[in-house]
Structures are given as C-alpha cells and as structure tokens.
C-alpha cells in the first residue's frame, strides 16, 4: 500500500484502516481521518470523496 501511495496512487480506506490497526500504533482519530481523507480517492465505489485534499504546504504552517 505504501509503495502505491508513494507513486501517487489512491488506496481504499479499508486498506488504510487495516494497516493502522495492524501496526499497533496509537493514532489520534482526527489525525487518522485527516490523513485518510487525503489518501483515498473515493469513500464508496462510484462516489466522489466529500473532503478535498489540503494544500500540503498548509501542514507545515504554524498557527498565528
């Protein structure tokens, strides 16, 4: 899955959720949702995702 993401491919949400669960890492649910929304192309087959990808630069900005 990570190799496909590095090449710019989208993945299914279930792949992301399963990979996180299998890793045993403690991940904040909001962080998982925000990152997952950026990785997946569709929430349901044939449907567009509801949350658009954030500008990658915005992740590096500090709040004022």
List, for residues 16-45, the tens digit of each pLDDT value. 888 888 999 888 888 887 777 777 666 566
Please tell me the total count of domains within the chain: 1
Residue 47 has a pLDDT of: 66
Residue 22 has a pLDDT of: 92
Tell me the whole-structure pTM to 2 decimals: 0.50
Bridge partner residues of 40 (DSSP) = 11
Rounded CA separation 9/22 (Å): 21
Specify if 41 maps to a domain.
yes
What's the domain range around 53?
2-59
Least Cα distance to 39 among 30, 24, 27, 52 occurs for 52
The pLDDT mean for the chain works out to 75
Residue 28 has a pLDDT of: 86
Q: What is the 3-class SS of the chain, one letter each residue?
A: CHHHHHCCCCECHHHHHHHHHHHCCCCCHHHHHHHHHHHECCCCCCCCCCCCCCCHHHHCCCCC
Residue 49 has a pLDDT of: 61
């Amino acid at each position: 899955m990570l190799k496909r993401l590095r090449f710019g491919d989208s993945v299914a949400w279930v792949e992301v959720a399963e990979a996180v669960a299998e890793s045993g890492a403690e991940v904040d649910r909001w962080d998982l949702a925000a990152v997952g929304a950026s990785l997946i192309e569709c929430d349901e087959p044939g449907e567009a995702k509801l949350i658009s990808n954030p500008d990658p630069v915005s992740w590096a900005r500090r709040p004022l």
